């Protein structure tokens, strides 16, 4: 009799332990589900913010570039970009509390080279023309990427030297950017990509 009751107590203990474990497991599952949901929402938010910030920056840069072209042609526009592309982008970065850059494999300004973490993303864009905005994490940082494709009017500075840019204009570009690799592009080509670093999730 004694033995049976001891076994019964053991069995009860085992059962209750299992029960508790089960509860813990399911609450863990719920928690990770919640975390996954939060991440999904943040990704969508980052895509939305990144899309609007990159569009705003692109419009601003191109607006200023076209105004400079109107004032003094390609020469004036190249000089304008050389002096102002960075300060302009930086001031927009400060406004939105992010770090905006444009990076490219065949770059004009070596400051815009691909970093190690950008290389696989650029490869993805090379291999899939339809791929749009992406969010990637690197350490604690969150990065937004978006491909930049060449438009018709970009060839006057990024196209073929003979037919699009002209020897004289290219001489000026080479003077300002001795290591220029950003020529021989055609409209529609992948020219580079937007890269926006979001410092903190809370500041979205």
Binding site for ligand HEC (CB under 6 A): 62, 65, 74, 77-78, 81-82, 85-86, 102, 104, 107-109, 112, 148, 150-151, 153-154, 156-158, 182, 191-192
- Beta carbon nearer to ligand HEC, 74 or 98: 74
Give 61-65 contacts, CB < 8 A, sequence gap 24+.
61/85, 61/88, 61/89, 64/88
**Nearest distance from residue 33's CB to ligand HEC, in Å?**
40
184: left (phi over 0), alpha (psi -120 to 50) or beta: left
**Nearest distance from residue 141's CB to ligand HEC, in Å?**
21
**Nearest distance from residue 166's CB to ligand HEC, in Å?**
11
**C-alpha to C-alpha distance for 204 and 198, rounded to whole angstroms:** 8
**C-alpha to C-alpha distance for 149 and 185, rounded to whole angstroms:** 10
- Beta carbon nearer to ligand HEC, 142 or 148: 148
- Beta carbon nearer to ligand HEC, 43 or 156: 156
Cα Rg of the chain (Å, integer): 27
- Beta carbon nearer to ligand HEC, 62 or 67: 62
**Nearest distance from residue 77's CB to ligand HEC, in Å?**
3
Q: What are the tokens at 186?
A: 């055609």
- Beta carbon nearer to ligand HEC, 48 or 113: 113
- Beta carbon nearer to ligand HEC, 42 or 153: 153
CB 42 within 8 A of CB 201: yes
**Nearest distance from residue 162's CB to ligand HEC, in Å?**
17
**Nearest distance from residue 25's CB to ligand HEC, in Å?**
49
Q: Which residues of 16-53 are buried (b: 16+ CB within 10 A; e: fewer)?
A: eeeeeeeeeeeeeeeeeeeeeeeeeeebeebbebbbeb
**C-alpha to C-alpha distance for 111 and 127, rounded to whole angstroms:** 24
């Amino acid at each position: 009799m004694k033995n049976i009751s001891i076994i019964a107590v053991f069995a009860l203990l085992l059962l209750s332990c299992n029960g508790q474990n089960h509860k813990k497991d399911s609450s863990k599952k719920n928690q990770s589900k919640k975390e996954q949901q939060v991440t999904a929402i943040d990704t969508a938010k980052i895509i939305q913010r990144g899309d609007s910030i990159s569009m705003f920056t692109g419009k601003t840069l191109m607006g200023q570039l076209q105004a400079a072209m109107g004032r003094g042609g390609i020469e004036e526009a190249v000089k304008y970009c050389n002096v102002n592309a960075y300060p302009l982008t930086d001031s927009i970065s400060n406004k939105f509390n992010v770090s905006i850059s444009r990076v490219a494999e065949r770059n004009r300004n070596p400051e815009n080279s691909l970093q190690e973490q950008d290389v696989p993303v650029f490869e993805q864009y090379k291999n899939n023309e339809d791929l749009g905005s992406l969010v990637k994490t690197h350490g604690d940082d969150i990065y937004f990427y978006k491909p930049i494709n060449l438009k018709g009017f970009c060839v006057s500075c990024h196209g073929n030297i003979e037919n699009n840019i002209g020897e004289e204009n290219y001489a000026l570009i080479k003077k300002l950017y001795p290591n220029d690799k950003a020529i021989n592009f055609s409209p529609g080509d992948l020219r580079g990509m937007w890269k926006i670093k979001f410092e903190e999730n809370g500041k979205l």
